[in-house]
Amino acid sequence: MSNADNFWLCMDDPTNLMMISAFMAFEDRIDFKRLRATIESRVSSFPRFRKKVVRPVSGVGTPTWEMDRHFDIRSHIHRVALPSPGGKAELQEMVSDMMAAPLDPHKPLWQVHLIENFGSGSVVLFRIHHCIADGIALVYVLLAAADREADAPWPEALPHKRKRMSSFDFKWPIAGFIRGVQKLKDTTEKLGQKVFEEFKDSVFEPGRLTEFAKKSTHMSADVGGMLTKLALMPPDPSTAFKGRLGTRKNAVWTDPIPLDSIKSIGHSIRDATVNDVLISLITGAMRRYLKSRNYPVNTLDLNVLVPVNIRKSGTEVELGNKFSLIFLTLPVYIEDAVLRLKEVKRRMDAIKNSADAVVNFGLLSMVGFMPPGIAKRLANYFSNKASGILTNVPGPKEPLYFAGSEIKNMMFWVPRAGDVGLGVSILSYNGKVSVGIAADEGLMPDGEALVEGFLEELAHLVQLVESGDIKEEPLVLHDTYQEMRCKAITREGEQCKKRVAPGSGYCSIHGQATLRDADSLKGPAPSGKSIFQDHMDPDRNTDRCQAMTRSGHQCKKRAVANSKFCSTHRPAEPKRDSRDLADILKELSGR
């Protein structure tokens, strides 16, 4: 067993099982015999699905993978049914129950459940331990087991090992069995390869990360710097997403959302990807949820762990864990949806151009080499600096068929670690995208509220796009703030801090004063009036200073170059505001 695989084995905890859960939903009923034949020939043909974990007798050293001599496919495929009325709520309840049920450590660490009575259809739920493979490889396995045609033939049955003719015959006839397994395994790989070509491009290009690894000639210094960076990073505060966990989990998900609606938002913000938009929507949903729980959010940044695929193209069939984790800071404090999307894009771009993923993979492998107790404590120490884990897997663009039926929807969840209670999964399939939430029920019993917040954020941005109210502007947060402020100068010589009125460069108070002054240019200037508000007089000498003196007359001094005022009356240049954007937005909203 590799160090990376051992890392996930060591991380198992009753409150956070290291188990990847995924389901496929169908509109019709799945034939159980065909399902078992499909799983046996295409999934269990991968050797690791027939192996169990064997720990060293001494308790020291790395566990090993050993073939289970008593492997029986019937121990891994089960048939259950939803209680009436068999709707989405009942399915979510059953998936939540199974998320909290540990796998049998004496058998290969995976199970499949055929869930019947889901309306007129059925659901196939997969539960696979993370030490078998990472999400990228496991999705490859499931896609490899699928067909592209509805009328695909039944899968071939695995050849069964013949019994020995005599107890004294040591020449076991296993060569034919091994060749048969290898043949089916090769066939499965070929079936999945074409499907996986559409799926394999993850959020972060493996080629780019590999290039960073090649350029990193001082990897030891990078590891040391990353350890220092992670050690100095403060832990996220305890919220509904993070805290003391229980064993019960809460799994919910959205109905499939047309991918075109997400793309339309991205097209309105220059170079914003689908991933940028989805992460921004999730950030907004987290903000809405925390506000509903009366948690202060106006200065809040929350970290999430994002898995990064670092395996080379074409090595998906090797299974195992070949991915890394990086920290992404979500700007929960930003209320404005457009500003939030731009800030998420900026932070995502910064991560994509860093070598953190490659260095962190080395750290994960290093932790996996340590004794289980130390590895678990160290992993929990770093994972507790985040509030959740966020995974995005782009699936196939065309419909697939599994065990003779079309897959209508798919969703998956990856495990969390430490006190991290929130898991967010994004999966695109057949022109649609679904978002799944897995949370600790004690911290977050109403996961549906987070899903509803996501849909509300999406509806809001779609409405902005359709109305044309999304304006393309550079992401310079403080300059944007200056544009939102009234341009008037107060008697103290400072720029007014109020928000501009719609269609005006001034706030409601100074805008009315400007209109008043325009109607009474010949009269004396009111006391307390802004020193540049009377420049609207068309009869004035444009070479003269446009300011009005206290006696109500135009200043007689010449205006300085590139200005409408003399050196005395020229307004002071507003200082660039360096405050946190959360404080600025709070001030502008009058809170």
Phi then psi for 93, rounded to 5 degrees?
-65, -45
Q: Is 35 helix (H, G, I), strand (E, B) or coil?
A: helix
* pLDDT score recorded for residue 310: 63
Contact 2, 320 (CB under 8 A): yes
Considering the domain architecture, whether residues 417 and 492 belong to the same structural domain is answered as no
Domain interval for residue 576: 476-591
| Three-class DSSP category at 323 | strand
- In whole angstroms, what is the distance from residue 539 CA to residue 521 CA? 10
Same domain? For 208 and 355 the reply is yes
CA distance 415 to 282: 18
Please give the radius of gyration of the chain, using alpha carbons only, rounded to the nearest integer. 31
Residues 280, 383: one domain?
yes
* Contact assessment for residue 125 and residue 112, using Cβ atoms and an 8 Å cutoff: yes
What is the distance between the alpha carbons of residues 92 and 524, in angstroms, rounded to a whole number? 73
Residue/partner pairs of 501-506 with CB below 8 Å, 24 or more apart = none
Among 409, 434, 467, where does a domain finish?
A: 467
Given 448, 467, 486, which residue is the final one in a domain? 467
Q: What is the DSSP string of 423-436?
A: EEEEEEETTEEEEE
Residues sharing a CB contact under 8 Å with residue 376, sequence separation 6 or more, in sequence order:
10, 11, 13
Q: How deeply is 238 buried, as exposed, middle or buried, from its count of CB atoms within 10 A (0-12, 13-18, 19+)?
A: middle
In terms of domains, do 22 and 45 share one? yes
Instruction: Determine whether 83 is exposed, middle or buried from the number of CB atoms within 10 Å of its CB (0-12, 13-18, 19+).
Output: exposed
3-state class (DSSP) for residue 15: coil
Please give the Cα distance from 187 to 140 (Å, whole number). 14
Query: Which H or E run includes 277?
Result: helix 274-292
- What's the gap between Cα 437 and its chain centre? 11
Residue 4's pLDDT is what?
72
What pLDDT, on a 0 to 100 scale, did the predictor assign at position 434? 94
pLDDT digits 0-9 by tens, 78-115: 999 999 888 999 999 999 999 989 999 999 999 999 99
Q: Please tell me whether residues 254 and 307 are part of one structural domain.
A: yes
Closest C-alpha among 313, 346, 315 to residue 328: 346
Of 416, 446, 448, 420, which is closest to residue 435 (Cα–Cα)? 448
Same domain assignment for residues 459 and 493: no
Same domain? 450 vs 483: no
Peptide bond into 85 cis (omega under 30): yes
pLDDT at residue 453, as a whole number: 94
Helices (H), 115-205: 135-144, 175-199
Residue position matching structure tokens 């259950």:
80
- Number of structural domains (the chain) is 2
Q: Give the end of a domain, one of 434, 449, 467.
A: 467
Position 378 scores a pLDDT of 64
- DSSP structural state of residue 133: B
DSSP label at residue 217: S
- One domain for residues 122 and 225: yes
Q: Are residues 208 and 277 in the same domain?
A: yes
Residue 302, CA distances (Å) to 50, 386, 454, 571 in order = 40, 7, 17, 41
Are 265 and 118 members of one domain?
yes
pTM: 0.68
* Per-residue pLDDT at 561: 76
- Tens of pLDDT, residue by residue over 528-573, are 444 333 333 334 455 778 877 766 677 888 888 777 778 787 766 5
Encode the chain (591 residues) as per-residue pLDDT tens digits.
777 787 778 778 888 888 889 999 999 999 999 999 888 888 877 888 899 999 888 767 778 899 999 999 999 999 999 998 889 999 999 999 999 899 999 999 999 999 999 989 999 999 999 888 877 777 777 777 888 887 777 766 555 444 443 333 333 334 443 444 454 445 444 444 444 444 444 333 444 444 444 444 444 445 555 556 666 677 788 888 988 888 899 999 999 999 999 998 888 877 788 999 999 999 999 999 999 998 988 889 999 988 776 666 665 556 766 666 778 899 999 988 888 998 999 888 877 766 554 555 555 555 545 555 666 666 666 667 888 899 888 888 889 999 888 999 999 898 887 778 899 999 999 999 999 999 999 889 999 999 999 999 999 999 888 887 766 544 434 334 445 677 788 877 777 877 777 666 778 787 766 555 555 544 444 444 443 333 333 344 557 788 777 666 778 888 887 777 787 877 665 455 555 656 665 565 555
In this structure, are 38 and 144 located in the same domain? yes
Q: Return the structure tokens found at 488.
A: 């008037």
Strand, helix or coil for residue 368 = helix
User: How many residues would you count in the chain?
Assistant: 591
Phi, psi of 10 (to 5 degrees): -70, -25
Asked if residue 130 and residue 221 are part of one domain, the reply reads yes
The pLDDT of residue 67 is 92
Q: Are the beta carbons of 57 and 330 closer than 8 angstroms?
A: no
- What's the CATH number where 441 sits? 3.30.559.30
Q: List CB contacts of 101: < 8 A, sequence separation 6 or more.
A: 127
Closest CA to 286 of 382, 421, 100, 434: 421
